[in-house]
Amino acid sequence: MKFKVKTVKTIPQGFIGMNYKAARSHNIKYKYPKTTILLKRGLSPRIREHTLRHEKIELELMKMGIPYHTAHGYALKHERDKFK
């Protein structure tokens, strides 16, 4: 799936990245298309890359029916393995 990235000033609850399924899991109103991933403005290029990859992995897993916390944990593990 192709994603659009939107940079925003803030994301509720202090997140630096968000996809629509994670927003739903946290009861956060998400007014963007399902193909849009939000990233907080001002992230360094390295953190931006990590966060975008995390959100994509998390979203794809959740679309397959995996619960948020499991998908989030897997995305975090992928980050640690990929970006050592």
- Alpha-carbon distance 29 to 61, whole Å? 21
Contact yes or no for 49/82 (Cβ under 8 A): no
**Band of residue 84 on the pLDDT scale cut at 50, 70, 90:** low
Enclosing H/E stretch for 17: strand 17-18
What local confidence, expressed as pLDDT, does residue 81 receive?
Answer: 72
**pLDDT per residue as tens digits for the range 21-37:** 999 999 999 999 999 99
Which amino acid makes up residue 62?
A: M
Structural domain tally of the chain? 1
Q: Which residues contact 84 (CB under 8 A, 6 or more apart)?
A: none
**pLDDT per residue as tens digits for the range 47-81:** 999 999 999 999 999 999 999 999 999 999 887 77
**pTM listed for this prediction:** 0.90
Quote the domain boundaries for residue 36.
4-82
Q: What is the mean pLDDT of the chain?
A: 93
